[in-house]
Amino acid sequence: MLTHSTPLRAAQTATRRAARSDLCVRAMASGSASEAQAPVAVTKELKNAGPEPKRFTVANGQLITIASAAFAGLARFGSGGFAVGYKTEFVDAAAEAGKYSVMTTGSRAVKETSRVDTFKRPVKPIELYEFQGCPSAGRCGGSQVREAISILDLDVTVYPTPRNGKVWRPKAVELGGKAQFPYLVDNNTGEQMYESDAIISYLFNEYGDGQVPLGLRLGAATTITCGLALAPRVGKGSRAKPSRQPAEPLVMWGYELSPFVVVVKETLSELELPYKQVTCSRGSPKRQQLLEKRGHFQVPYLEDPNTGVYLFESAAINKYLEDTYALPA
């Protein structure tokens, strides 16, 4: 599935300019994992550091990468792409001017909605310690939990824990007592837990309607299809690379089904960069928020409050992350 971008009307697109970051969360690593490298300084003004977003476009040289990441959506039958209660309807385009729609044809626009805005939403950050790529023993619990988060349209703060990671993996062990992932901490209820099935059930009971989708409760079939979904990426995102840590988490808008988002999350995982994921699945009301914020809806969209920049386009984002945070091996 390709990335979607929806322009505002001319009066709104003319208003693109530097804005204040919405995030003010301090990232704290444990022990001396990152003290050898000074954190990137924090600034608040954001400016565009990448190309303008292009609808339905794959960057030069990225076709195989995006195609292999898109395989997950096929293997998982679209799980993680649509919010609970997703539906579409045709509406009058003129009446919906300035509002997000997936497409416009003549005088009609296709409007997407869901039921997530009727559910309880967390006030404090939900923390997720996990990493991209399939864990050992054929278990792909991390991807199942990520799908659940997208279906519920929940925002989470992700602390990547790739193999050989020295930043957030020790912190997770300190909190939970063992190096097992995914590991969820809900600061709203005090719940902390391992095991993907337990996490998924908890999230749907606490922040949904209590009904776990069939695709996430098929036991071995779910595990097998998750493994198949990740296979073409050959472990991308699962091993740590040397990096310096930001003083504050980055902000990444996206959702699990998008292959463009997946390849950015792989880089964030390898570099052990903490980030707030603003989830905006199909049917999410947050798509309108990004449209109003930047004049477009397109994911992935990254904000870095540490350097004062924002970027669209996965290839540009990954280059920025490598240039800014990667260290020589």
Residues 254 and 218 in one domain: yes
pLDDT at 2: 38
Beta strands 275-279 and 250-254 are parallel
Residues 92 and 223 in one domain: no
Residues 98 and 148 in one domain: no
Residues 92 and 189 in one domain: no
Q: pLDDT per residue over 126-137, tens digit each?
A: 999 998 875 433
In-domain check, residue 3: no
DSSP state of 318: H
**What range does the domain containing 110 cover?**
87-116
Query: Residue 156: which CATH number?
Result: 3.40.30.10
Per-residue pLDDT band at 191 (split at 50, 70, 90): very high
User: Sign of the CA dihedral 126, 71, 54, 311?
Assistant: positive
Residues 244 and 111 in one domain: no
Q: pLDDT per residue over 42-96, tens digit each?
A: 556 799 999 999 877 777 777 776 666 565 655 565 577 899 999 999 999 898 8
Residue, of 41 and 36, whose pLDDT is higher: 41
Q: What global pTM score does this model have?
A: 0.81
DSSP state of 325: H
Question: Number of folded domains in the chain?
Answer: 2
Across 105-120, b (16+ Cβ under 10 Å) vs e yields: eeebbebbbbebeebe
Q: 47 — phi, psi (to 5°)?
A: -135, 155
pLDDT at 316 over 80: yes
Cα–Cα distance, 74 to 130 (Å, whole number): 23
In-domain check, residue 121: no
Q: How many residues does the chain have?
A: 329
Residues 316 and 275 in one domain: yes
The least confident of 55-59, 109-113, 296-300 is 55-59
Residues 139 and 71 in one domain: yes
Residues 211 and 274 in one domain: yes
In DSSP terms, which residues pair with 309 in a beta bridge?
A: 47, 304
Residues 92 and 142 in one domain: no
In-domain check, residue 14: yes
